[in-house]
A and B are shown apart, each in its own frame.
Chain A
Amino acid sequence: MARAVTTQRKIAFTALAWIIGLAIFFPILWTILTSFKTEATAIADPPVFFNFDWTLENYTVVQERSDYMRYLWNSVVLAVGSTIFGIIIAVPAAWSMAFVPGKRTKDVLMWMLSTKMLPAVGVLYPIRLILIELGILDSKGALIFILMMINLPIIIWMLYTYFREIPGEILEAARMDGATLKDEILYVLTPMAIPGIASTVLLNIILAWNEAFWTLTLTTVDAAPLTAFIASYSSPEGLFYAKLSAASTMAIAPILILGWFSQKQLVRGLTFGAVK
């Protein structure tokens, strides 16, 4: 009897969860489906879900616009570039704060966090002006630097919480066995730190890929990534849902896949270690 009740409950909860899950996912599913339709089917009333003539035409059209590839390339360069430089600067900082904490370490960490809370719009004009004066407005290098800076506090924090979990006794044991500082870093710490660094890299690529304030306000043509490319669809001409969907699908697919792998890290990274 009791078992029957729990099975019933499980069925009810499963049904409810799937309905809600599918409803939340629906806009993404709909975008993906629409990207395989012709423009006429895309706005058909009543809407068609699966029984239409699937076509790859929209993808080829969007691809053939020579500029799509450039936007995609810019997105990759900005996301990967800002992440690499961010990691290079953050690893030593997080490392020293985790393993050689001083009296001020906590204050320094909190201060770093506070720079993340500065509303970007408050410093938009000076940054623009500096870039114009230096002649690097709309350049990838400038954007890489800016994206690196806005995510640096998150990178340092995430790495710090990972490094802190590495037990200090292991270092002492290694030292007892005659390991030099170089051995210690290369053979003991690095292998233990790699999973944490990898997760941080993943999260940072996602954040940089989707960043849409600086990329919209500081780029026009040369450095514009996919966020700006998609925004250019906001003033449409004629029928364009299917093409918008194809461009959107290509813009979100890589990050969606990366994101699904990094659910756990996301919680830690975005709550600054407050929830694990």
Chain B
Amino acid sequence: MATQHSRSAARLMMSPAVFLLLVWMLVPLIMTLWFSTLDYRPMRGTFDCCEGLGNYSRFVTSSAFLDSIVATLQLVGGVLVITVVGGVLLAILLDQPIWGQGVVRILVIAPFFVMPTVSALVWKNMFMNPVNGLFAHLFKGLGLQPVDWLSQYPMFSIILIVSWQWLPFATLILLTAIQSLDSEQLEAAEMDGAGPLSRFGHIILPHLARSITVVVLIQTIFLLSIFAEIYVTTSGAFGTRTLTYLVYQRVIESQNVGLGSAGGIIAVILANIVALVLMRVVGKNLDA
């Protein structure tokens, strides 16, 4: 069907997208790579060549780097555990015959559409504020000492905020996957005397395995670059400085572009490791 003519027309139709993406990806990346080998501090007017890998070793050996990796792992890991476990349970619950399923579904997915700065500020002020927040009112009502969430449990608080935003995403995808499950299979298992737990373990969970993988990988990609939530809550203080935030601070706040660019390249490498795994999973689907 595809003639030589239509093939070259197709190539022509693709070229703007390919060209733009190529430029968008390569130009800044090459510049970052170049800056990462320089002593480049615009505020001091230094733009000196040939640091070699000096910036990299300085970035990696600073205690801030190790702390940022720990913070990143805590944030990504915490949110993944909460959203995947919560998402599976919620998806199963929403798959049951219940009254008003459509409305409950709408309520559950709503947080995903709230812009990150809004959700971070609403949680920070109206819920977690130690004086006027709802949690403080609740604690006082119960006769407990109110907690200053964002300075006493900063990472936990941010994990809570981000999980609230991403739980809907996990739930929605896992619900879509559960609904594609053959209900006859479940009924047959029930007839054969399989209890709810073994039905969950032997039928539902294996069926969901692929979707869970997809949820984990896609969320990891997005969670690695969480920015706004940290920016408006703690600004990276109290051990909430993730790798993304550390690089942002080095490059923009302390204007050490050479050092920050080395950090940026490290962030790119780490994200690509996750991305490679994700592409394998998604790529398999293309053949099907």
Contacts and interface: CB of A to CB of B under 8 A. Distances in A.
A44 to B, nearest CB: 9
B35 A125 contact: yes
Contact of A24 (B35, B167, B225, B251): B167
Contact of B118 (A43, A168, A217, A248): A248
A118 B32 CA distance: 12
Q: Is the interface of A mostly helix, strand, loop or mixed?
A: helix
Interface string A96-114: 1101101000101111111
B134 interface: yes
A152 B173 contact: no
Nearest to B168: A24
B216 to A, nearest CB: 12
A227 B10 contact: no
A197 interface: no
B32 A122 contact: yes
A244 B14 contact: no
A210 interface: yes
Contact of B228 (A30, A46, A227, A251): A227
A125 B176 contact: no
B44 to A, nearest CB: 16
Contacts of A245: 122, 126
Contacts of B248: 121, 124, 217
Contacts of A102: 7, 10
Interface stretch (B48-56, B88-96, B183-191): B88-96
A248 B228 CA distance: 15
B115 interface: yes
Given A152-B21, A206-B113, A263-B109, A272 B282 contact: yes
Interface in A183-215: 206, 209-210, 212-213
A217 B32 CA distance: 17
A213 to B, nearest CB: 5
Contacts of B112: 259, 266
Interface string A232-276: 011010000100110010011001101110011011001111111
Contact of B279 (A114, A226, A263): A114
Given A47-B137, A276-B176, A231 B32 contact: no
Contacts of B59: none
Contacts of A223: none
Nearest to A116: B221
Interface in B20-47: 20-21, 24-25, 27-29, 31-32, 35
Given A89-B17, A241-B132, A263-B172, A121 B264 contact: yes
Given A102-B7, A212-B115, A274 B126 contact: no
Contacts of B126: 27, 30-31, 34, 241, 244-245
A244 B133 CA distance: 14
Interface string A68-101: 0000000000000000000001101101110110
Contacts of B279: 110, 113-114
A119 B267 contact: yes
A115 B25 contact: yes
A260 B106 contact: yes
B86 to A, nearest CB: 9
B247 A122 contact: yes
A95 B14 CA distance: 9
B240 interface: no
Interface stretch (A14-22, A50-58, A59-67, A134-142): A14-22
Given A24-B164, A112-B21, A216-B228, A121 B244 contact: yes
Interface of B: 1-2, 6-7, 9-11, 13-14, 16-18, 20-21, 24-25, 27-29, 31-32, 35, 90, 93-94, 96-101, 103-119, 121-127, 132, 134, 137, 140-141, 164, 167-169, 172-173, 176-177, 210-211, 214, 218, 221, 224-225, 227-228, 231-233, 244, 247-248, 251-252, 257, 260-261, 264-265, 267-268, 271-272, 274-275, 278-279, 281-283, 285-286
13 contacts: A17-B94, A20-B108, A25-B110, A27-B164, A30-B122, A45-B137, A93-B16, A97-B14, A119-B264, A125-B257, A252-B114, A252-B115, A256-B110
